[in-house]
Amino acid sequence: MPQVKIVARNFMDMVASLPAMKLDKLYENSFICEAILRSLPPLAKKYVLQLLYIDGPVVATWLEEWVLADGVSKHRVAIDRLIQLRVLTENLERKKEATYRFNPTFQRNLQNHIAQGGILPREPMPSNITVRLPSLEDLDAYAVEQWEFFLLHLISSTEAEKSTNISSSMMKVFQRGLLSQKDDKEPPRLTESGFQFLVRLMDTNAQLWYIVREYISNCEERGLDTADLISFLLELSFHVTGEAYNSNTLTDVQRNIIKDLADLGLVKLQQGRKESWFIPTKLVTNLSISLADSSSRKQGFVVVETNFRVYAYSQSKLHCEILRLFSRIEYQLPNLIVGAINKESLYKAFQNGISAEQIISFLQQNAHPRVTERIPSVPENVTDQMRLWESDLNRVEMTPAHLYDEFPSRDVFDSACDFAREYGGLLWENSKKMRIVVKAEIFTQMKEFLRSHKQ
Amino acid sequence: MTPVSSKLYTVPTIFPQVLAFLNSILLLNQLNQVVVIATGYNSCDYVFDSASQNQNQRAERLLQNLEEFIDKDESLCREDSVKGPGFSLLSGSLSMALCYIQKVFRSGPLHPQPRVSLNIGITIISIGGVHRMKCYFGGFWGQEICEILCLHGSPDGPGQYVAVMNSIFSAQRSMVPIDSCVIGAQHSAFLQQASYITGGVYLKPQHLDGLLQCLLTVFATDLHSRSFLLLPKPAGVDFRASCFCHKRTIDMGYICSVCLSIFCEHQKKCSTCGSIFGQAQTQDTSMPDRKGKAPMV
């Protein structure tokens, strides 16, 4: 199973890793081009605009000479990204300078967009149809509730009262990498990346992209075309929040997808008398924003006191579950969760692979506005103690190594010592008994060195 | 200083380029916002706000509002025809842009919007100039990063010196850089100073046919990226001031030692703060309160 890294940007990496043919086909949809452009780093966006109306290849130095010395790395990142996404293609001719050429489909789509302004992907429901639409607040509340419920279900299926419509096999897909189950009797435990997922959790967009990514790769296994799915999702993000769109504008595949998306809170489905509608929520329309810079964060709610007490002003069950991962929940009031961090609760967290640093950063990131004013927002004695408890567990450091002895002569021993020292791999030496312990990393170099000395 | 082409650029030639530029700003980030303010001889007004309008009729709406604005401004012109066509109201539109920015700043934290570094833009279009040249004046601002860009073609109105300088300083205080793109015949001393003081970019493109490319290359760059890019630097800044008494642009003059008001000739009493001045020691080497000025660009 591939190691999961929880980074929002990864979704675009997935797009970038699509085969060239598919990617070029994807760019025929102007919404994809738009979303891709928005996902780029700022400098890359600038380059796209700069090159947009230039036909034919552009010499690389033409772009480079705009960049000051300390921006070179950023320039490289931007250009690499553009080449990776096949927005630019690089031509390296012998003895000539590198040239970049704009992807013609991408270029044409963006030019059209700039000349004509954006077009909505679908016409919203005409206002003369009298159907009661949810207000924006209701819709937001619906989206948040649906999403939190999904997350709660994800971490502990026992806690969730009502069952979701998401099939358990789908849930398994989402859970893989986030939870680990040693045997069937034990309840599944959160893995390190699972906790990271939750810690960054307050950043809904990043999580959303992670889930969407898993969803897409799962659909791929079921034989759906990834490119179709990606283009549909990105297209959805260009709809207007709160407007109702007719479901019969969707294809059959899309209609199936949208049911799953409704369970995640991305859209709300509404059944009219004759026709059914779907209403995009804030979650889905924010999708293309979050690709670029997902620094959005909800207001903090946690207060940590010097006596290791944790007060969380929250009604969310999900928050309670997260706190339960590393603290002992003492009591719960309607809008307040009170817990205590102690050695036992932290050891439990450490066993699950959650580090003290992660917990501290979680507490800091979600500090209540009242305590964010003071620095540090989490009392120092608490953070120090948490780090100490963690280092208690790691008193012994393990380094894979090899022991060498029975050297033929002192000369060989000395030169072997010097050699290992040079490579920074000498861990221990005993010159009387002529024994050394060398890190396993330089085993091959060591072997060659000793072989050359044997002769 | 480049020789100015005799070709006049009017709304129909520049409009598509500016519109394309606005579209590209809106394209870059979903949260970007553009507002257009038109500036005439006698009035200035908001003609477009991307936050409140449907994106499907962006161009039509903008053009329609602009035409209405021009008609209104010209009718105002006829009413008090004593003055005749003067200078476009740069100070007025700058103040409007800054007010809008302040409104956005202050309502910012209340909005449940994510704190993303984004640029929202106001574009102010000004119509003016002695030769009936159409001028544009534009600006961009973001929720956290604010930025003003001026597309300007009218000569400076020395009478607006104080108001413009006040706007510039308030822009500086609220960390709003003012970019200037001069599309008129002459360099604009006001905008040179505005860009210099607020840390924006001042540029006078040599050929207006490539205006869009110039806008996209230089002015569409976000503030963060600017710190490591080589952007056009002004060859020099015209720091000359206008006197308060006759609104003349002067190289050398008298300034009040109390309130720093500038006068082109000796006065008995400061018209701004009322301080009484002593006798001028005229034609002396030791001229009182002499103010040296940077050479003209």
Q: Spell out which chain B residues touch chain A, with contact meaning CB-CB distance below 8 angstroms.
A: 16, 19-20, 23-24, 26-31, 55-56, 58-59, 114-117, 212-213, 216-217, 220-222, 224-225, 227-230
CA–chain centroid gap for A396, Å, is 32
DSSP state at residue A298: P
Using omega within 30 degrees of 0 as the cis cutoff, is the peptide bond preceding A376 cis? yes
Separation between Cα atoms, residue A89 and residue A428, nearest integer Å:
52
Best mutation target, B24, B211, B212, to test chain A (most A CBs within 10 A): B24
Q: Are A290 and A35 in contact (CB under 8 A)?
A: no
Kindly state whether residues B291 and B216 are assigned to the same domain: no
Return the pLDDT at B133.
29
Paired with A332 in beta bridges are A337
Separation between Cα atoms, residue A9 and residue A291, nearest integer Å:
6
Please indicate, yes or no, if residue B91 is contained in any of the structural domains: yes
| Phi and psi at residue B87, to the nearest 5° | -120, 150
Please indicate, yes or no, if residue B159 is contained in any of the structural domains: yes
Best mutation target, B225, B227, B229, B230, to test chain A (most A CBs within 10 A): B225
Kindly state whether residues B123 and B270 are assigned to the same domain: no
Return the pLDDT at B2.
33
Which value does ipTM take for this structure?
Answer: 0.72
Please indicate, yes or no, if residue B4 is contained in any of the structural domains: no
- Residues in chain A predicted with pLDDT less than 50, given as ranges, are 1-9, 291-296
Kindly state whether residues B23 and B132 are assigned to the same domain: yes
Q: Do B115 and A296 count as a contact with CB atoms less than 8 A apart? A: yes
Determine the distance in angstroms separating the CA of B83 from the nearest CA of chain A, rounded to an integer. Answer: 39
Q: Are A149 and B54 in contact (CB under 8 A)?
A: no
For residue B210, CA distances in Å to A54, A404, B204, B206 come to 12, 73, 12, 9
What is the count of structural domains for chain B?
2
Which residues on B lie below 8 Å from A70 (Cβ)?
228
Kindly state whether residues B75 and B123 are assigned to the same domain: yes
Determine the distance in angstroms separating the CA of A85 from the nearest CA of chain B, rounded to an integer. Answer: 17
Kindly state whether residues B183 and B278 are assigned to the same domain: no
| Phi and psi at residue A226, to the nearest 5° | -60, -40
Check CB contact of A286 with chain B, cutoff 8 Å.
Answer: yes
Please indicate, yes or no, if residue B148 is contained in any of the structural domains: yes
Return the pLDDT at A35.
79
Q: Do B27 and A288 count as a contact with CB atoms less than 8 A apart? A: no
Kindly state whether residues B162 and B245 are assigned to the same domain: no
When CB atoms are compared, the residue of A65, A113, A295 closest to B27 is A113
For A411, residues 6+ apart whose C-beta sits below 8 A from its C-beta are none
Q: Give per-10-residue mean pLDDT for chain B (297 aa).
A: 40 74 77 74 76 67 79 72 60 83 64 33 38 33 56 75 87 82 79 85 80 81 76 77 82 86 86 80 48 40
Q: Range of B246's domain?
A: 239-297
Q: Do B115 and A115 count as a contact with CB atoms less than 8 A apart? A: no
Please indicate, yes or no, if residue B234 is contained in any of the structural domains: no
Which residues on A lie below 8 Å from B26 (Cβ)?
117-118
DSSP state at residue B276: B
Please indicate, yes or no, if residue B269 is contained in any of the structural domains: yes
Kindly state whether residues B266 and B173 are assigned to the same domain: no
Residue B263, number of CB atoms within 10 A of its CB? 20
- Find the residue in B nearest to A40 (Cα): B28
Domain boundary among B193, B226, B259: B226
Separation between Cα atoms, residue B29 and residue B108, nearest integer Å:
17
Best mutation target, A39, A46, A109, A237, to test chain B (most B CBs within 10 A): A46
* The residue to which tokens 């002769």 are assigned: A455
Kindly state whether residues B194 and B253 are assigned to the same domain: no
Return the pLDDT at B7.
44
Kindly state whether residues B171 and B269 are assigned to the same domain: no
Return the pLDDT at A204.
67
Check CB contact of A292 with chain B, cutoff 8 Å.
Answer: yes
Please indicate, yes or no, if residue B186 is contained in any of the structural domains: yes
Task: Render A247-306 in DSSP notation, one character per residue.
Answer: GGGS-HHHHHHHHHHHHHTSEEEEE-SS-EEEEE-HHHHTHHHHTT-----PPP-EEE-T
| Phi and psi at residue B125, to the nearest 5° | -105, 125
Separation between Cα atoms, residue A157 and residue A187, nearest integer Å:
10
Kindly state whether residues B293 and B208 are assigned to the same domain: no
Q: Do B116 and A295 count as a contact with CB atoms less than 8 A apart? A: yes
For residue A95, CA distances in Å to A63, A98, B87 come to 19, 9, 56
Return the pLDDT at B53.
59
Domain boundary among B183, B205, B226: B226
CATH of the domain at B197: 3.40.50.410
Kindly state whether residues B137 and B40 are assigned to the same domain: yes
Length of chain A: 455
Domain boundary among B205, B226, B247: B226
What residue type is assigned to position B150 of the chain? Answer: C
Please indicate, yes or no, if residue B174 is contained in any of the structural domains: yes
Kindly state whether residues B211 and B186 are assigned to the same domain: yes
The model carries a pTM of 0.66
Return the pLDDT at B139.
37
